[in-house]
Structure 1
Amino acid sequence: MNAHASSLPRRQSYLDVYLRVLSALMLRDMRSRFGGTYWGYLVQVLWPCAHLAIIVGAMKFRGLRSPMGDDTMVFVASGALPALAFQYISREVMKGYLVHKPLTYFPQVKRFDTVVARVLVEIVSSFMGVMLVCGVLLCFGSDPVPADLMMAISGYLAAIGLGIGIGTINVGICSVFPGWALGYILVTLTVYLTSGVYFMACYMPDEIYYYMKWNPITQLIEWVRLGYDPTIPVQVDYLYLFGWIFGSLTVGLLMERYVVRAQQ
C-alpha cells in the first residue's frame, strides 16, 4: 500500500499551480509583441533608446540647449524614462487583460492573473530599458549616474506604482467599455506632451506652472530630475503623489472586485 502510494504523482499545491499559470501568461505576453516572437519583445525594450535618439536629435537639429546641466541626453532621459514607464505600464496592463481574456475560460486562469502577469512583464521591461539607456549614454560619453541615486530611483519606482494603479483602473473601464483602449492612447499622448519631458515645467509662467503641478506625471519627472540636479527650483508634493498612487490602486482593485468579476 505504501509503495503504491509513493508511486502516485504528487498533487500540486495551489501556489505551484498559480506560479505556473503566471509564468505561462508572462511567456505568452512576451511572444505576443510585434509578430509573435521573442524578438518582438526585444523591440519593445529597445524602444526607449530609439525614443531618446529621436528627441535628442530633434533638439540638436533645432539648436536647443539643455535647461538642466550641459548634457541634453541626460536631461531628456531623466524626463522620458519615468513618463514612459507610467505610460507603458498603465496601457499594457489594460491590453494584457484584453489579449488574455479568452484564456480566462480555463478554470485555472483568473482575470486578475492576466493583470498580475502583465504588470510583472512590464516592470522587468522597464528596468531593462533603463539599463539599456544607461549603457547607451555611457557609450556616448554621458554620465547617467544621478547625484542623488536614491532620489532618482524612488521617483522612477513611484512612476511604476502610478502606472500599475491607473492600469488596474483601465482594466475595470475596459471590462465595460472595450473602446476605452483606443481612447486612453489620446489621454496618455496629451499627458506625455504636457508633463515637461522636453522642457522644465518650473520655468513656465507661474499661472501655467500652478496647473501643471496638478498633473502627477509632471511632479514625478521633477522628482527624478531632483536626483540629477538638487539645485533646480522645484518642490515635489510627495503626499499628493502617494495619494495618487495608493488611491488609484485602491480604486482599481475595487473595480476588479465589483466590476470586472461581475462581467464573468
Structure 2
Amino acid sequence: MSAPTDPSLPTPLPTAGPGTTRPFATPRTVMALVLREMSTRYGRSPGGYVWAILEPLGSIIVLGLGFSLLLRSPSLGSSFILFYATGYLPFNLYQSLSLTISRAISFSKPLLFYPAVTWVDAVLARFILNSLTGILVTYLLLAGILAVADTRVVLDAQPMLVAIGQAMILGLGVGVLNCALIGLMPTWEMVWSIFTRPLFLASGIFYIYEDLPQMAQDILWYNPLMHVTGYMRMGFYPMYEPEYLAPAYAVGFGLICLTMGLILLGRYHRDILND
C-alpha cells in the first residue's frame, strides 16, 4: 500500500525528468512562446517593433553615407545605400537568428521544467518569430530604398529567396549548435563572440567577391555568408553573375551545424536545464 498524501504539503512542480518530455513540439505551445517573447522583447520598450526597422536602417544609412565620401561609386550600381543594404540585411537576418536561438534555453529555462514545454518548442518559437521579423524588415527597407533612391534595377526574386533561405538555415544551424555548446560550456559564448567578430568585415557587405585578391578569395570562399550576399546581389543587379557561388555549400554548412546541435541537445538538454 502507498503512504497517504498529506494535504498540508505543497504539490511539487513537474520536472524535466526521464520520460516527461515529448518527442516533438506542438503548435499551440510554440505559439504561446512566440507571443511571450513578442511581449517581452518588443512590448516593454518604447517604440516596440519600430526599433527592429530603425536599427538596420541606421546602420545602412551610416555605411552608405560614409563610403560615398570615400569612393566615387559602389562595386555594383550607383546607389551606395542599396549596395550595402543588399549585403547587410541578409547578414543581419543570420546574425539575429543565430544569436537569439543560441539563448533559447536560457531565456525559457523556467518554463522548460514543465512537461508541456520542451527545448524544441523554445528553439522553434525563437526561429519563427525572428525569421518573420527579419524577412519583414528586409522587405520594408529594400522596398523603401527602391522607392526613394534613384536606382534602375531589374529585380529577380529567385536569387533573393535563395539568399534569405540560406541565411535562415545558417542562423538556425549555428544557433542550435551554440545553444548546446553554451549550455555545456558557458565560456563558449565569449569565445564565439571573439572568434566571429571579424565576420562583419569578411562577409561581402562592403565589397563583392571579385574585388578581392586571389589569396583572399581562396580563404573567404569558405565563409558561407559570402555566398548568401552574392545571391542577394544577383537579385538586384542583373549583370552580376558571380561564378564562385555554390548553393549547396551554405545550406550544407547550416544543416551540419543543425544536426550536431540537435544531437547534443537531445543527449544533454536535461544536464543543461539542471545545471
Q: Does 1:196 align with 2:204?
A: yes
- Find the residue that maps to 1:134 and give its secondary structure: helix
- Cα deviation for residue 126 of structure 1 reads 0.7
- Residues 1:172 and 2:180 aligned together: yes
Q: Which residue, 242, 267, 271 being the options, matches 1:258?
A: 267
Is 2:45 the counterpart of 1:33? no
The Cα of 1:77 is off from its aligned counterpart by 1.1
The equivalent position to 2:105 in structure 1, one of 81, 97, 104, is: 97
Residue 116 (1) aligns with residue 127 (2): no
What is the Cα deviation at residue 56 of structure 1? 0.9
Q: Structure 1's 52 and 83: CA in aligned 2 closer, same or farther, altered over 3 A?
A: same
Instruction: Say if 1:45 and 1:126, in contact at 8 Å, map to a contact too.
Output: no
Query: Offset of 1:29 from its aligned partner?
Result: 1.3
CA distance in 1, matches of 2:149, 2:172: 34
For 2:239, the equivalent position in structure 1 comes to 231
In 2: Cα distance, 1:104 partner to 1:145 partner: 48
Q: Is this contact kept in 2: 1:137–1:144, CA < 8 A?
A: no
**TM-score calculated relative to the size of structure 1:** 0.84
**Residue aligning to 1:181:** 189
Residue identity opposite 2:258 in structure 1: L
- Is the 1:52–1:77 Cα contact (8 Å) retained in structure 2? yes
Alpha-carbon shift at residue 121 of structure 1 (Å): 0.6
**Which is worse superposed, 133-142 or 160-169?**
133-142
Q: Taking structure 1 as reference, are residues 146 and 114 closer, same or farther at Cα in structure 2, changes over 3 Å only?
A: farther
Structure 2 distance, partners of 1:32, 1:172, is 23
CA distance in 2, matches of 1:127, 1:158: 13
Kindly report which structure 2 residues correspond to 1:1-264, keeping only aligned pairs within 5 A, or say none. Answer: 18-33=26-41, 36-37=44-45, 39-143=47-151, 147-232=155-240, 234-235=242-243, 236-264=245-273
1:49-71 superposed Cα distances (whole Å, 9 cap, x missing partner): 12211211211233452111112
Counterpart contact for 1:165–1:250, Cα < 8 Å = yes
Does the residue aligned with 1:40 lie in a helix, a strand or coil? coil
Q: Give % identity.
A: 23
- 1:211, CA displacement in angstroms? 0.6
Residues 144 and 160 of structure 1, relative CA distance in 2, 3 Å threshold: farther
Question: What one-letter code is carried by the residue in structure 2 that aligns with 1:260?
Answer: H
Q: Following TM superposition, by how much is the alpha carbon of 1:141 offset from its aligned partner in structure 2, in angstroms?
A: 2.6
Check 1:148–1:79 CA distance in 2 against 1; reply closer, same or farther (3 A cut): same
TM-score normalised by the chain length of structure 2: 0.81
Q: Which segments of 5 or more consecutive residues in structure 2 lack a partner in the other structure?
A: 1-21
Cα displacement (A) at 1:139 = 4.1
Q: CA deviation at 1:258?
A: 1.4
Local SS of the residue matching 2:41: coil
Cα RMSD for the two superposed structures: 2.4
Structure 1: segments with no counterpart, 5+ residues:
1-13
Query: Partner letter of residue 76 of structure 1?
Result: Y
- Higher mean C-alpha displacement, 22-31 vs 81-90: 22-31
Residues 225-250 of structure 1: per-residue CA shift (max 9 Å, x gap):
12223433622022322321221221
Counterpart for residue 6 of structure 1:
none
- Whichever structure has more helix as a proportion of its residues is 1
Change (3 A) 1:102 1:157: same
Residues 149-174 of structure 1, C-alpha deviation per residue, up to 9 Å, x if partnerless? Answer: 11122112111111111111011111
